[in-house]
A and B are shown apart, each in its own frame.
Chain A
Amino acid sequence: MIVVKGTLKQRLGAWLLAAFGVLGTFLLIEAYTSAERAADRAYDSLLQAASLTIGEAVQWQGGQPVVEIPAAAFQMLATEQQERVFYTVVDSDGQSVTGNLDAAILETLHHQSSRQSEPVWSFLQYAGASIRVHGRQLKSAGWESVEPLQIWVGHTLSGRESLTQDLFTKALIRFVVMVMLTGLLMLVAIRTALGPVRRLRQLIRQRKADDVSPLNAEVPGELYDMAETLNALFERQREGRNALLRFSADASHQLKTPLAGLQSTSELALQSNQPEDWRQALQTVHDSSERTSRLAGQLLSLSRLRHAEAGSKTQIDLSDLLRKTITEWADRDIAKHHDLGMAALPDAPIYIQGEPWSLHELIGNLIDNALRYTPAGSEITLGLTKQENTVELRIQDNGPGVNPELLDRLHQPFERGGRQDTEGSGLGLAIVNSIVQRHQATLEIHSEPGHGLCVRILFPTLAEET
């Protein structure tokens, strides 16, 4: 049963999605922080430029700083985003010379700056807004000794925020486009990669039903195993078909022989005028047709056993089955003249895994065989013994037995152990053998001429019983 469980596209898609999910989260976090950094760099340089412009405008008159704040400095600070702007110029006493930024706010930053005399960059809350401030010390070397000034500039953050958003959105769009392109490429790649599979399928579909020759196709390395497996399957099919053909030829030959006999017997009888001859011929016809129909039935059984799927096995009480089957056969006409019996069975049931119907058939065939290949009055005894790892089913007769040289061939179809005189078809043991194989059991045949035949079948016992 073939169950469709998702598609390769879905699987790859899911993997890709997971990969992009994890990767994407990191990438986007990184993109956001770097967008922020880039925006800060861009806008900080404006602060720096404004600070420089203000610094350029500082003049000293009589030891006092005079700043004619250039309007351009405000334009720079305000930027295109129309930021609110803040600035102040602070003298060495910490007093604001001019500006709208409260010098007290800058106290700590101020100290930092004068101590290190390095530019200060900071984010502050001021006048109800978040602002970025930049402060630096302006040293003026000159003829008169003058104290250093501090120039502070700042502005609100909307420009940074919108630039960050902008950069981030672009990064996001790039990322999404990349994901979509990758997805598209993946689809194309899957199509391409699955091309050989499609070609292989085409090749198999186009085959005729009875074509079991090996595949002749170019496949990528990954598909070699599959193609090889298919070829092995075809090989087995080929063998099976050949066996079937051989078997059919044998079977039709086997059927043809008695039919020919029937035909000649009835023709002879028709030429005769003697009722006595007719009666004899009719008897022959009756016996032969009975044999023939039995043969046909056995052929059917054998072919089914050989070619049908093994059915589901269940736990079976073999001693019970044995008793019932022998009883069934003992009541039949054919057993009337034989001493058919059962050796004492162990008290406890003997369980094996098996198909009930085929085991029934197996025992029946063993009894049938024994009945047909032994003379009237022979003793036939079936028995069952439980051994350590096996269960032994045994049938022993006291008939003429079989030449030991022929024993190995007995289980082959149409083999009658050198006995062409009986009604047997030569299929009984072949059927038995097939059933034995279906149960992973072993078949042993012993015989000494004059001392009858003993057939033993060893079944593996249930694992849980030991």
Chain B
Amino acid sequence: MARWLWPHFSAFVVTLFLAVSLPPSAAKAQNKTTLEVDAALDLPVVAPLLAAFERAHPEIEVSFQDRSTLEVDERARSASPAPDVVISSAMPWQMARVNDGLAQPLNSDAASEWPSWAKWRNEVFGFTFEPIVTVYRLNLARHMLPPQTHADLHTILNTHQEMLRGRVTTYSPSGSGIGYTLFQQDARYSPRFWDLVAALGAADVQLENSTQKMLEGLTDGRYWVGYNLLGSYAIQWARSHPELIVQIPQDYSLVMMRMAFIHRYAPNPEAARTFMNFLLSADGQQILAGETPLFSVLPDVVGPYTSQRLRDQVGERLYPIPIDASLLAFVDPMRRDVFMNRWRREIRILNP
């Protein structure tokens, strides 16, 4: 089923020993619990959070495994021993694992105070708030009005079809779980989505499997416009690449959440709960908001990257992908087949 899922980021495994503050006695160090975290999340992005956690809980050593969503899902189902904490951006698959009973509930103050729209059964929690964005090169503006909405994108694809041919990129719905999820969600919200797919197909859209690849192509000039990129990575990338403009669509903007759960067969459930509670705590969210581009979910956290600030900028057009049972429909194999059939049909429809 996950045949088409290939690594979101290069599938290297980093074992992190963030020895920020070494414990005074060696004996104490030997008593450290090693917490196994399987995550589809870039280590550099999340490093400040992990460092803060180990400062707060020196008795726990985090072994952070940055893997592809495919690997994370595969290991969550069959690895032995199971990982302690599973984090992934592939929301429907995370949801399916929870529905399969692979998560254990977290009963803590932080968990019960967590906004209900960002959790399910007190077992899985969406702990980031990452907008989906359109990225274009600055020089695009010399030729045309930069797209501010989905409709704008559709328009320039039609009006500047020749100029943009081969210079538009987006996720591959078959190669990326996130991409597939985003397109499914797009199709649910807008009936004109398939027109956009047809227009993308006419412009000979280039399909990539990760935001990283798309950003690299945009930076080196291969691509002029990228559609449905992860805002968290794009914003950070754009800081060091001023030729790229990150546009949060002004009509509606999807928001993706990384979902984390404690594995039912976690070898260190106590440490796993401590980690999750930290993730959901005001302290953890403060670090997300201040030191990572992942955006905090909590409305009262202050920092450059907060959902509240995003809402203030974009207004009420943010559409977080809901964490509920409807996500399960996206992993239904037959529904996926139906969707992919339509995709293949629509993408060729203007380009026979």
Contact = CB atoms under 8 A, between A and B. Distances in A.
B77 interface: no
Contacts of A69: 329, 332, 334-335
A82 B328 CA distance: 13
Interface in A67-118: 67-75, 77-78, 82, 84-85, 89, 97-100
Nearest to B330: A71
Nearest to A86: B99
Interface in B315-352: 324-329, 332-335, 338
B312 interface: no
A129 B101 contact: yes
B338 A68 contact: yes
B121 interface: yes
A71 B334 contact: no
Contacts of B99: 84-85, 100
A75 to B, nearest CB: 5
B325 A70 contact: no
B77 to A, nearest CB: 12
Contacts of B329: 69-71, 73-74
B321 to A, nearest CB: 12
A99 B332 CA distance: 6
Interface string B88-107: 00000000101111000000
Contacts of B333: 98
A78 B322 CA distance: 14
B123 to A, nearest CB: 9
A72 B326 contact: yes
A71 B100 contact: no
Contact of B325 (A85, A99, A127, A129): A85
Contacts of A73: 329
A128 interface: yes
Contacts of A98: 332-335
Q: Which of A68, A70, A97, A129 has the most CB of B within 10 A?
A: A68
B326 A128 contact: no
B104 to A, nearest CB: 11
Contacts of B325: 71, 74-75, 77-78, 82, 85
B326 A71 contact: yes
Contacts of A310: none
A100 B99 CA distance: 10
Given A69-B334, A98-B334, A82 B326 contact: no
Contacts of B324: 74-75, 78, 82
Given A71-B188, A74-B325, A97 B334 contact: yes
B169 to A, nearest CB: 28
Nearest to A85: B325
B191 to A, nearest CB: 15
A418 to B, nearest CB: 113
Contact of B328 (A74, A89, A129): A74
Nearest to A71: B326
B101 A68 contact: no
Interface residues of A, number: 23
Contacts of B121: 82, 84
Q: Which of B326, B328, B335 has the most CB of A within 10 A?
A: B328
A354 B123 CA distance: 94
Given A66-B334, A68-B334, A98-B335, A75 B326 contact: yes
Chain B contact-residue range equals: 10 to 19
A360 to B, nearest CB: 93
Nearest to A82: B121
Interface in A223-240: none
Contacts of B338: 66, 68
Contacts of B335: 67-69, 98
A151 to B, nearest CB: 13
A84 B101 contact: yes
B120 interface: yes
Nearest to B188: A71
B336 to A, nearest CB: 9
Q: Which of B96, B101, B332, B335 has the most CB of A within 10 A?
A: B332
Contact of A67 (B96, B101, B327, B334): B334
A100 B327 CA distance: 14
A72 B328 CA distance: 10
Interface string B303-314: 000000000000
Contact of A127 (B101, B120, B188, B327): B101
A53 to B, nearest CB: 11
B235 to A, nearest CB: 30
Contacts of A66: 334, 338
A100 B96 contact: yes
A165 B99 CA distance: 24
Contacts of A85: 99, 325, 328
B163 to A, nearest CB: 37
A67 B334 CA distance: 6
A72 B101 CA distance: 21
Nearest to B331: A100
A127 B334 contact: no
Contacts of A78: 324-325
Contacts of A127: 100-101
Contacts of B188: 71
A266 B30 CA distance: 133
Interface string A322-335: 00000000000000
Given A74-B325, A74-B326, A77-B325, A128 B101 contact: yes
A83 to B, nearest CB: 8
Nearest to A76: B325
A154 B112 CA distance: 27
Interface in A124-140: 127-129
A218 to B, nearest CB: 67
A287 B120 CA distance: 122
Nearest to A126: B101
Interface string A43-76: 0000000000000000000000011111111110
B118 to A, nearest CB: 13
Given A71-B188, A71-B326, A75-B324, A82 B332 contact: no
Contacts of A74: 324-326, 328-329
Nearest to A78: B325
Contact of A82 (B96, B100, B120, B327): B120
A82 B116 CA distance: 11
Nearest to B339: A68
Contacts of B327: 71
9 contacts: A68-B335, A73-B329, A78-B325, A82-B120, A82-B121, A84-B101, A97-B334, A98-B332, A98-B333
Interface of A: 66-75, 77-78, 82, 84-85, 89, 97-100, 127-129
Which 5 interchain pairs have the tightest Cβ spacing?
A78-B325, A71-B326, A98-B334, A74-B325, A71-B329
Given A69-B335, A71-B325, A84-B101, 4 more contacts: A72-B326, A74-B326, A85-B99, A127-B101
